[in-house]
């Protein structure tokens, strides 16, 4: 009898902590969601703009776009966040921690998203543009009516991947004092001296958010596929 | 009837890097005329067609459309293309749009025409090419021949003065060639001005008012189908015709 109780006690203790602390993550979840959504939306917008810069015939704009991408891809996101939050105030550019995190995350995913878009755009067969231009469309018309819709559809799988990475990258905002899921978990761990159940909660929340996100992306992909045989 | 000049090509030269593909082409296309362009591979047939609607930039020479000399400004070229329809070897339908939307997109986006009016017209065009029942399906669900007929309807929707066909049946399975040629033939009988690059000699002979034989970037010989196919003068045309027939 004692043997069985001994076997169960750690589980009971574990889940007692889990159920006690899980609801206390409510604000943290909101933060993580806000960070993710902003970095995804702004990142997509930045990505689209940077893609357009890369595809213009103006060499200067192209250079700027590629410089931006090389910086973002060439340095860790963690450093970028430190730089925005602790470095920029030194030259008089001061943002609060949340704004800093949004800027950092959006600029970061923007660079990767722009490469995803560019890849998708150049993968559209040149015959598509020729057909559009032969009808009499301008470059801009053919880009927005013919090329971009097809490229967007083609970019959805990689875009989804990038969105998932953006959710996980939001955990790095913890280093600049934002009490999103990861920092909250760290604080509760320190308070309870019992990190395992707390980190378990954090993991479950991330998993649920990402599963919902990837399920909706799958659905979107399916709906965009109506024009295939 | 055949007096109005739709296209006039004057001393057209075109090179790709060091390779001179067109070496001075002169060609007049009158209203209602059907002209077939034949010649071996690499003779410049497709390049000539692509230069006429500026998908390739010419190096030298002049192109007049409806008596107007076309300059290189983007605006002018876009305007010209509205008047010059093009049908491609590989159809190039827009895969993300239904058949009906493919036919409608030109007039709606470029001419900003009323959608209902455009739709009515598009359905009529699809009926003319025998595809009115396919209006709501996507191109991927059609056979090559059906796709090419949609491409013809799409070009016609812009109400062009002339249609350019760049080997319209070369990418088709043999049993699908007939349905496309039938549509082109119907257009010819309706008085449409057309310039057709083709390998279908029987068809060229039957449908054309004039046949142009291109060889190494020059017009080697041109004349009525009977002159070209039954009485070829130049040695090259003779050997070309005997090689394909």
- Whether the predicted pLDDT of A160 surpasses 60: yes
pLDDT score recorded for residue B245: 65
pLDDT band at A2 (very low <50, low <70, confident <90, very high): confident
Where do we find the tokens 């069985």? A4
Where are the alpha helices (H) located in A84-194, listed in sequence order?
97-122, 126-135, 139-142, 148-169, 181-192
Identify the DSSP state of B108.
I
- A150 Cβ under 8 Å from any chain B Cβ: yes
> What tokens appear for A37 in the block?
């959504």
- A133 Cβ under 8 Å from any chain B Cβ: yes
Of residues B98, B86, B99, the one with CA closest to residue B56: B86
Distance (Å, whole) CA B237 – CA A4: 99
Where do we find the tokens 């459309």? B65
Distance (Å, whole) CA A164 – CA A155: 14
Which residue in chain B has the smallest CA separation from A126? B92
Distance of residue A43 Cα from the nearest chain B Cα, in angstroms: 25
The DSSP result for B144-202, as a single string, is: HHHHHHHHHHHHHTT--SEEEEESTTTTS-HHHHHHHHHHHHHHHHTT--EEEE-S-HH
pLDDT score recorded for residue B137: 95
- Nearest 5°: CA angle at B214, between B210 and B219? 80
Contact A226 B138 (CB under 8 A): yes
Where do we find the tokens 């660079």? A111
Contact B81 A133 (CB under 8 A): yes
- Whether the predicted pLDDT of A1 surpasses 80: no
pLDDT band at A90 (very low <50, low <70, confident <90, very high): very high
Contact A151, A120 (CB under 8 A): yes
Where are the alpha helices (H) located in chain B, listed in sequence order?
45-52, 74-83, 99-105, 115-128, 144-156, 174-189, 201-207, 225, 235-244
Distance (Å, whole) CA B68 – CA A88: 60
Q: Calculate the average pLDDT of chain A.
A: 92
Q: Could you list the pLDDT tens digit for every one of the 245 residues in chain B?
A: 457 889 999 999 999 988 999 999 999 999 999 999 999 888 899 999 999 989 998 899 999 988 888 877 888 888 889 999 999 999 999 999 999 999 999 999 999 999 999 999 999 999 999 999 999 999 999 999 999 999 999 999 999 999 999 999 988 888 899 999 999 999 999 999 999 999 888 889 989 999 999 998 999 999 999 999 898 899 999 988 888 76
Considering only CB atoms, A135 lies closest to which of B90, B138, B158, namely: B158
Contact A135 B110 (CB under 8 A): yes
Contacts (Cβ under 8 Å, ≥6 apart) of A105: A35, A38, A39, A43, A77, A166, A169, A170, A173
Q: What is the pLDDT of residues B151-184, one digit of tens each?
A: 999 999 999 999 999 999 988 888 899 999 999 9
Measured between beta carbons, which residues in chain B are less than 8 angstroms from residue A130?
Answer: 55, 88, 92
Distance (Å, whole) CA A65 – CA A21: 45
Distance (Å, whole) CA A14 – CA B198: 78
Q: What is the pLDDT of residues A43-75, one digit of tens each?
A: 999 999 999 999 888 999 999 999 999 999 999
- Whether the predicted pLDDT of A141 surpasses 80: yes
Whether the CA torsion B50, B56, B62, B65 is positive or negative: it is positive
Measured between beta carbons, which residues in chain A are less than 8 angstroms from residue B90?
Answer: 127
Mutate: best of A136, A146, A148, A223, partner B, most B CBs <10 A: A136
Distance (Å, whole) CA A95 – CA A196: 34
Contact B214, B187 (CB under 8 A): no
Distance (Å, whole) CA B176 – CA B159: 26
Measured between beta carbons, which residues in chain B are less than 8 angstroms from residue A149?
Answer: 96
Distance of residue B92 Cα from the nearest chain A Cα, in angstroms: 6
Distance (Å, whole) CA A176 – CA A96: 10
Identify the DSSP state of B94.
-
Considering only CB atoms, B92 lies closest to which of A130, A137, A138, namely: A130
Q: What is the pLDDT of residues B63-101, one digit of tens each?
A: 998 888 887 788 888 888 999 999 999 999 999 999 999
Distance of residue A87 Cα from the nearest chain B Cα, in angstroms: 47
pTM reported for the whole predicted model: 0.83
Contact A134 B85 (CB under 8 A): yes
Residue ranges of chain B whose CB lies within 8 Å of a chain A CB: 53, 55, 74, 78-79, 81-82, 84-86, 88, 90, 92-98, 105-106, 109-110, 138-141, 151, 154-155, 158
In terms of Cβ atoms closer than 10 Å to its own Cβ (0-12, 13-18, 19+), residue A34 is: middle
Find how far residue B50's CA is from the centre of its chain. 9
Distance (Å, whole) CA B37 – CA B157: 24
- A129 Cβ under 8 Å from any chain B Cβ: no
């Amino acid at each position: 009898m004692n043997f069985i109780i001994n076997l169960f006690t750690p589980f009971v203790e574990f889940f007692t902590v889990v159920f006690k602390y899980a609801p206390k993550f409510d604000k943290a979840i909101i933060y993580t969601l806000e960070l993710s959504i902003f970095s995804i939306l702004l990142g997509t917008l930045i990505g689209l703009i940077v893609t357009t810069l890369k595809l213009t015939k103006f060499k200067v704009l192209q250079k700027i776009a590629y410089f931006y991408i090389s910086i973002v891809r060439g340095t860790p996101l963690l450093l970028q966040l430190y730089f925005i939050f602790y470095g920029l105030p030194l030259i008089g550019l001061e943002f609060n921690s949340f704004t800093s995190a949004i800027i950092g995350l959006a600029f970061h995913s923007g660079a990767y998203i722009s490469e995803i878009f560019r890849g998708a755009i150049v993968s559209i067969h040149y015959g598509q543009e020729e057909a559009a231009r032969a009808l009499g469309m301008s470059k801009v018309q053919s880009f927005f009516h013919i090329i971009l819709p097809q490229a967007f559809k083609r970019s959805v799988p990689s875009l989804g991947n990038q969105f998932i990475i953006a959710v996980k990258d939001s955990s790095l905002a913890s280093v600049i004092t934002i009490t999103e899921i990861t920092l909250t978990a760290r604080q509760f761990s320190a308070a309870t001296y019992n990190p395992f159940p707390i980190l378990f909660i954090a993991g479950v929340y991330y998993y649920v958010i990402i599963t919902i996100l990837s399920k909706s992306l799958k659905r979107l992909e399916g709906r965009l596929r109506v024009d295939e045989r | 009837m055949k007096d109005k000049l739709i296209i006039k090509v004057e001393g057209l030269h075109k090179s790709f890097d060091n390779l001179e593909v067109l070496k001075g082409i002169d060609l007049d296309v009158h209203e209602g005329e059907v002209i077939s362009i034949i010649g071996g591979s690499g003779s410049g047939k497709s390049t000539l067609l692509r230069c006429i609607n500026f998908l390739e930039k010419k190096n030298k020479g002049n192109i007049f459309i409806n008596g107007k000399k076309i300059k290189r400004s983007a605006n002018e070229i876009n305007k010209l293309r509205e008047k010059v329809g093009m049908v491609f070897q590989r159809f190039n339908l827009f895969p993300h749009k239904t058949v009906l939307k493919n036919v409608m997109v030109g007039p709606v986006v470029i001419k900003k025409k009323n959608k209902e009016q455009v739709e009515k017209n598009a359905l009529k065009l699809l009926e003319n090419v025998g595809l009115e029942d396919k209006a709501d399906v996507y191109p991927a669900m059609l056979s090559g021949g059906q796709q090419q007929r949609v491409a013809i309807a799409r070009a016609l929707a812009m109400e062009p003065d002339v249609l350019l066909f760049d080997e319209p049946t070369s990418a088709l399975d043999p049993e699908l060639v007939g349905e496309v040629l039938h549509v082109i033939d119907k257009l010819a009988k309706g008085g449409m001005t057309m310039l057709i690059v083709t390998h279908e000699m029987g068809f060229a002979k039957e449908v054309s008012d004039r046949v142009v034989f291109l060889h190494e970037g020059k017009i080697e010989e041109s004349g009525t189908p009977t002159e070209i196919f039954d009485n070829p003068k130049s040695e090259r045309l003779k050997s070309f015709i005997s090689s394909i027939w």
